[in-house]
């Protein structure tokens, strides 16, 4: 399941679902941790091959001498340690989908063999010269710039063209700040269901801190940060002090509040000013949106850039800011 509020990601989801109708190879590119495997799952489960296997191979996790065996299988005695015949990923994915994760890590010598298999739709097990036909849809993924890898002589141009019939470029988390709240709350709920935590959500300062972080590790890093925070939180709310983000990203006033101790901060009764509860998406979306817009303006400064990063038009952003200022004025009058 792809959790998103980002117009960019929603557009990519629709594009991926259209691409799923065919058996054309798909290349997923984007930084590490952006969710490429989730898109591979979406494509497979939206395709006519959905009832068949989706098999994944991390090409970076295997030494060169074992990669071909993993891809194509081997016969008993084909090499030292081959005590029995074994099917490779192409056989295991028969009539289904094979995801080649970190495809750029395949050694250049093995790339030539992979290219022949993709072109001929036949492969041979290691230790056997009998060809085996295959019908497998290929989804390749890489966090590297494959064009640069080609220029550097590390990746074959012909293989690139073979796997790059349909390319989907997944943007990093820092370019879709609106996805941080739903993802953070999804992970809170997940860790609570797994017995890892007993927290209800994040306070507003913690959410602002998440929005200020650059997320070089993307969604994977966010998941780890929330996991850590769930373990360390000693109450119903995750605060800034539980996140473990760099000190330079925490505003001075938040650092002072943290250093004075949480006991001095108002605890509230679970309202949106202090807690973002599990059902925030339906009942407190305006407040969460206000926090994200405020954090984005603090971070980027330029409103046009903020609108671009949040996936809205500058006019929409201006209207939202105006509305929130009016609400703030009403709150002050009520006080």
pLDDT digits (tens, 9 = 90+) for 91-142: 999 999 999 999 999 999 999 999 999 999 999 999 999 999 999 999 999 9
CA-CA distance, 203 to 258, in Å (whole number)? 13
Domain membership of residue 219 (yes or no) is yes
Among 154, 171, 188, the domain-final residue is 171
pLDDT, residue 258, reads 44
Whether 198 and 187 map to the same domain: the answer is: yes
- The range of the structural domain enclosing residue 91 comes to 7-72+85-171
Measured in whole angstroms, the distance separating CA 1 from the mean position of its chain's CA atoms is 11
Whether 153 and 291 map to the same domain: the answer is: no
Whether 65 and 104 map to the same domain: the answer is: yes
Rounded to two decimals, the pTM is 0.76
Domain membership of residue 78 (yes or no) is no
Closest CA to 310 of 222, 185, 211: 211
pLDDT, residue 250, reads 54
Domain membership of residue 264 (yes or no) is yes
Domain membership of residue 44 (yes or no) is yes
Tens of pLDDT, residues 260-301:
443 333 333 333 333 444 444 443 456 667 767 877 787 778
pLDDT, residue 327, reads 57
Whether 164 and 226 map to the same domain: the answer is: no
Whether 201 and 66 map to the same domain: the answer is: no
Produce one character per residue of 293-313: b if its CB has 16 or more CB atoms within 10 Å, e if not.
Answer: bebbeebbeeeeebbebbbbe
Domain membership of residue 304 (yes or no) is yes
Supply φ then ψ for residue 290, to 5 degrees: -60, -40
Tens of pLDDT, residues 229-268:
999 998 889 999 999 998 655 554 444 444 444 333 333 3
Measured in whole angstroms, the distance separating CA 271 from the mean position of its chain's CA atoms is 30
CATH number reported for the structural domain that contains residue 165 in this entry: 3.40.50.300
Whether 207 and 327 map to the same domain: the answer is: yes
Whether 215 and 108 map to the same domain: the answer is: no
CATH number reported for the structural domain that contains residue 318 in this entry: 1.10.8.60
- Range list of β-strands (E), the chain: 26-29, 54-58, 97-101, 122-123, 132-133, 137-142, 166-169, 201-202, 237-238
Whether 89 and 158 map to the same domain: the answer is: yes
Whether 241 and 161 map to the same domain: the answer is: no
Q: How confident is the model at residue 310 (pLDDT cuts 50, 70, 90)?
A: confident
Quote the number of domains for the chain: 2
299 or 193, greater pLDDT:
193
Among 155, 171, 187, the domain-final residue is 171
Domain membership of residue 80 (yes or no) is no
Whether 314 and 275 map to the same domain: the answer is: yes
Whether 194 and 55 map to the same domain: the answer is: no
Whether 215 and 113 map to the same domain: the answer is: no
Considering the chain, what percentage of its residues have pLDDT values greater than 70?
Answer: 84
Domain membership of residue 2 (yes or no) is no
Among 126, 153, 171, the domain-final residue is 171
CA-CA distance, 78 to 64, in Å (whole number)? 15
Domain membership of residue 142 (yes or no) is yes
**Most confident stretch, 38-47, 70-79, 205-214, 305-314:** 38-47
């Amino acid at each position: 399941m792809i959790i998103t509020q980002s117009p960019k990601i929603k557009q990519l989801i629709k594009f991926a679902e259209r691409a799923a109708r065919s058996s054309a190879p798909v290349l997923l590119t984007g930084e590490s941790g952006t969710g490429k495997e989730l898109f591979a799952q979406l494509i497979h489960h939206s395709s006519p091959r959905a009832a068949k296997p989706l098999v994944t191979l991390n090409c970076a996790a295997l030494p060169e001498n074992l990669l071909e065996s993993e891809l194509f299988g081997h016969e008993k005695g084909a090499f030292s340690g081959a005590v029995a015949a074994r099917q490779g990923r192409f056989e295991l994915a028969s009539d289904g989908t094979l995801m080649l994760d970190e495809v750029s890590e395949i050694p250049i010598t093995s790339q030539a063999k992979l290219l022949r298999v993709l072109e001929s739709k036949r492969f041979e097990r290691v230790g056997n010269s009998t060809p085996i036909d295959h019908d497998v849809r290929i989804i390749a993924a890489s966090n590297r710039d494959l064009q640069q890898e080609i220029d550097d002589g590390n990746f074959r141009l012909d293989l690139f063209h073979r796997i790059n019939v349909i390319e989907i470029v997944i943007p990093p988390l820092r370019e879709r700040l609106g996805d941080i709240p739903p993802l953070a709350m999804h992970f809170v709920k997940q860790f609570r269901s797994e017995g890892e935590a007993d927290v209800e959500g994040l306070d507003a300062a913690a959410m602002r801190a998440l929005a200020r972080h650059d997320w070089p590790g993307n969604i994977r890093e966010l998941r780890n940060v929330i996991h850590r925070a769930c373990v360390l939180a000693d109450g119903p709310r995750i605060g800034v002090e539980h996140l473990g983000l760099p000190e330079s990203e925490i505003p001075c006033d938040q650092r002072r509040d943290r250093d004075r101790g949480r006991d001095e901060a108002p605890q509230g009764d679970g309202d949106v000013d202090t807690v973002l509860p599990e059902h925030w998406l339906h009942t407190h979306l305006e407040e969460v949106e206000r926090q994200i817009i405020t954090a984005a303006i603090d971070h980027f400064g330029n409103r046009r850039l903020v609108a671009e990063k949040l996936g809205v038009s500058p006019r929409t952003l201006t209207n939202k800011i105006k509305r929130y200022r009016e609400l703030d004025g009403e709150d002050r009058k009520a006080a």
